[in-house]
Amino acid sequence: MPKRFSRQFALGLSLLCLSPLARGEDKSLLKPAVPQAPAVQLAPLSADEMKAAGERATLAAEKLGWRIGCQAWTFNKRTLFDTIDQVNALGLHYLEAFPGQIVDQDKNMKMGPDLSTEAKAAIKKKLADSHITLVSFGVTGIPADEAGARKFFEWAKEMGLETIVSEPNENQFDVLNKLVEEFGINVALHNHPNPSHYWNPDTVLKVTEGRSKRIGSCADVGHWQRSGIQPIEAMKKLQGRMIESHFKDLNQFGENKAYDVPWGTGTGGAKAMMQEFQRQNAHMTFLIEYEHFTPGLVQDVAHSVKFFGEACEQLSAGK
């Protein structure tokens, strides 16, 4: 064999031996090509157009038994009060707060169960003046002992929360099952991407089996996409167990580093997901959550709201 061919043969053989298939690994574990959505340029919306789009989406969602709001993490670089102002400017009326967000200019005042009586009163007033309802809180831990968990639920009740979004340990569910019924407050299990504990909807089904219907899923459809799970398939599995959704559309499917894009422009099939919620007759709260921070963030959120309102109107009309 000529020397140049022997070198090529040896190189090819070494590469083959390094491949997963040559090592006897399951080829189904090989990562497929990642679908990527083309970048879409959307015309900017004025402040009045943003407000109108939000009010329109709110009304359109109500006709389907839904609510549209915002997860405060979308604006986590701002204070809670600034976030409330922004959500109001977007024409929305529902908010999920997250633990540790600075409430106002006082950097020692952070959102959570340790708030002072005065801080709690100030937050309630700010929400009421802005016509915004604080529906949920998370993603948060819940104390493992019953006394600590009860204190947490008492705070949630005082703040008017409907839902606590969490990723509790499996050994907490006996206590949680008792408290959700006693306080009338839901616990929604959030799914951070693989390898977090609840990334797979099968795990959510396992831990909720035989439990109160107040324990269910906070369906983070973006993290399902990042984990390579088709959201609609997960939604079908969780029918009857979904309490709210961190709703998202991403630029790539099956990629942990995928980033948020305006709804309807990504790989998530935003309208198809909405159709599945409608098919299930699920009374959902859709919470906008962006984790990709750019100078155009507010515009991206506003376009997502606009898309959502238009899609709701089409679904109501049977389109």
Question: pTM for the complete prediction?
Answer: 0.89
pLDDT tens across 218-270, in order?
999 999 999 999 999 999 999 999 999 999 999 999 999 999 999 999 999 99
Distance CA(237)–CA(241), nearest Å, equals 9
147 pLDDT tier (thresholds 50, 70, 90) = very high
Question: What 3-state DSSP class applies to 97?
Answer: strand
For residue 140, which phi and psi values (nearest 5 degrees)? -135, 155
**CATH 3.20.20.150 correct for 47-316:** yes
Q: Taking 90 as the threshold, does the pLDDT of residue 81 lie above it?
A: yes
User: 15 or 269: whose pLDDT is higher?
Assistant: 269
- Give the position of tokens 């690994």: 25
Q: Taking 90 as the threshold, does the pLDDT of residue 1 lie above it?
A: no
Q: Please state, in angstroms and as integers, the Cα–Cα distance from residue 171 to each residue in 27, 168, 175, 198, 310, following that order.
A: 36, 8, 9, 14, 43
In this prediction, residue 107 carries a pLDDT of: 81
Number of Cβ atoms within 10 Å of the Cβ of 6: 10
Dihedral Cα 42, 73, 131, 108, nearest 10 deg: -140
